Chain A
Amino acid sequence: MDVSVRNIRKEFDRYPALNDVSLDIRSGELIALLGPSGSGKTTLLRLIAGLEQPTLGSIFFGEEDASHKSVQERHVGFVFQHYALFRHMTVADNIAFGLTVRTRSERPPKAEIRRRVEELLDMVHLSGLGKRYPNQLSGGQRQRVALARAMAIEPRVLLLDEPFGALDAKVRKELRRWLREFHDRTGHTTVFVTHDQEEALELADRVVVMSQGKIEQVGSSDDVYDRPNSPFVFSFIGDSASLPVTVEEGGIRFEGKETGIAPGAGDIAAGEGTLFFRPQDVALVTDPAAPALEGRVATSRRLAGTRIADIDVGTPERPHHVEIEVPLDANAAGGASIRFRPTRWKLFGA
């Protein structure tokens, strides 16, 4: 089911949590809403579910305007961060809940419900645990029960709010892979919220990066990592270094000195800006006559196969630190002077 969010604005006590947000989700897609806390990602998810009502704007499920439909009518599967299981019910009763609350004419017969529950338990690899109570399960198992419960109503869209947020790192990784498989198998349109970029980049077909109630960028993992379209996305996704620079005579200058690099296509052509680059996208410059960024190593640390150096490139009055990757054989002892140039960079106007 396609979901289309159109010009949504949501205010809480006059404070806008979402400001003119539009997003098209294609049928069968696995989408991640990624952003720091307070960016409005959970609010957007709850608006799609109907757990919140938009102040302005509309939400379409396929061709149908769902903006004024109740949660019950929207027929969405929602999985909460803290599972929200009914703890006085067995696992099987939890999963069957969405079917048993239907009106008599729509409710499947008991045997059919039992069969569906068995099927779902099997699907989330919890066969045989139907008679347990939620408090007898581990966190990862509970989250899978929550997912099975949401799937039982054959939702049009599956929405997950920080589904792995309350789990430990190992279980989280397992469940992440498992969710991807699950999605590929069932083909449900799925939207999940996360603040963990690794999770978003690994799992999602498309990542929606949000900040301060706005969508900053929508794109594949490659898009948002390699071609960030804003300073926020560049600094939020992955490691990055940034420096205040000026563009003069077609070259990028830092502290008035040439750096040896020029603005790329789409970058600003003149004036002040901020240069962004990733620690691994730098090359050391050995020729003392060639223009480059220069500085002194403040500290360096070994990180698996590489060495990360914290370089002080500023002046005593205006210190600037950047982190770059240096070859293991380069001199990166504290105090050593070092000259380098970004090999890939992005320049944003000030």
Chain B
Amino acid sequence: MTTPAAVSVRWRLRQPSVIPGFGLTLGFSLAYLTLIILIPLAGLVWRSASLSGAEFLAILTDARTLHALKVSFGTAFAAALINVVFSVVVAWVIVRYRFPGRRIVDAIVDLPFALPTAVAGIALAALYAPNGWIGRLLGFVGIKAAFNPTGIVIALVFIGLPFVVRTVQPVMEEIDREVEEAAATLGANRFQTVFRVLLPGLAPAILTGFALAFARGVGEYGSVIFIAGNIPYVSEIAPLLIVVRLEEFNYAAATAIASIMLALAFVMLLVINLIQAWSRRRYGHGA
């Protein structure tokens, strides 16, 4: 760090404030994040750094690795997209309408948070397998919904649902009725009000929900492995491939794949955060 910047940071830290404790809490937060997140992740990167550049590149460009990464990120992305559409509808129903059982619906949304993911995976696999209740029905129309990437998407939709609902819900609750009424007096029909006034206002929250669901989906392991079928080159997710490598005592390869996942996830979350920061600045949310 250059001297002037250091000086200015110091000066700011020393500013008297009515909310004291900045130094203490920041110090604690950094120490905490370091212990819980940064050191394990740094260990991961350090471990994979024991590989030479060529070896690392070989693992990265290995067809099986590439496929696993593609499956992981692709299904997580698709599931997050599906969740964005349907979770917004669920949040809308919970927020806007008063009906018997609304509290129960509201509570059901949180179940994927609480349920052991393996249980979810087994339940979903049983239902969507070709001989399961839903799988059989889907079989009639020629859709195979388990033991392929479609199955992975279904599991990830289940896992990601509460993330989108719970991020969109509070923002939706704050929508001012007057804004909708204003749109109506200006001649906008319901469709135009929803798509031109309400949803754009919710966009930052929806984007956050998407990011959370996506990030969760990329890292999800427990529920996916039961429904995915885990066929290499088809429905093998990157986290599973890491476990496979570990079981082969190929620690270097496992950490290399993990590092790549880490880098990809970090870049994507960073981009989404930047888009959000930009839209916040622009529309003054929370201002």
Contact = CB atoms under 8 A, between A and B. Distances in A.
Interface of A: 49, 51, 70-72, 74-78, 80, 82, 84-89, 97-98, 101-102, 133-136, 146, 149-150, 152-153
Contact of A87 (B186, B189, B284): B284
A153 B186 contact: yes
B222 interface: no
Contacts of A72: 184-185, 187-189
Contacts of A88: 200-201, 203, 282-283
B179 interface: yes
Contacts of A134: 284
B247 interface: no
B185 A49 contact: yes
Interface of B: 176, 178-179, 181-189, 192, 196-197, 200-201, 203, 282-285, 287
A150 to B, nearest CB: 7
Contacts of A75: 187
Contacts of B284: 87, 133-136
Given A72-B189, A97-B186, A86 B179 contact: yes
B201 A150 contact: no
A51 B182 CA distance: 10
A114 B178 CA distance: 26
A77 B192 contact: no
Contact of B185 (A78, A133, A136): A78
Contact of B283 (A51, A70, A84, A135): A135
Contact of B187 (A49, A136, A146, A153): A153
Nearest to A72: B187
A149 B283 contact: no
B187 A102 contact: yes
25 contacts: A71-B185, A72-B188, A72-B189, A78-B182, A80-B182, A82-B176, A82-B178, A84-B181, A86-B179, A86-B183, A86-B197, A87-B201, A88-B201, A97-B188, A97-B196, A98-B186, A101-B188, A101-B196, A133-B284, A134-B284, A135-B284, A146-B182, A149-B186, A150-B185, A153-B186
Contacts of B200: 86, 88-89
A87 B178 contact: no
Nearest to B184: A71
A28 to B, nearest CB: 21
Given A72-B188, A150-B185, 13 more contacts: A70-B184, A71-B181, A80-B178, A80-B181, A84-B176, A86-B201, A88-B203, A97-B196, A101-B188, A101-B192, A135-B283, A146-B182, A153-B187
Nearest to B186: A98
B183 A78 contact: no
Contacts of B176: 82, 84
Contacts of B287: 135
A108 B181 CA distance: 23
Nearest to A101: B188
A133 B287 CA distance: 12
A87 B283 contact: yes
Nearest to A78: B185
Q: Which 7 residue pairs spanning A and B have beta carbons closest together?
A: A135-B284, A98-B186, A84-B178, A84-B182, A78-B185, A101-B188, A71-B184
Contacts of B185: 49, 51, 71-72, 74, 76-78, 150
A153 B200 CA distance: 22
A20 B136 CA distance: 63
A32 B189 CA distance: 30
A241 B10 CA distance: 65
Contacts of B184: 51, 70-72
Contacts of B192: 101
A94 B285 CA distance: 17
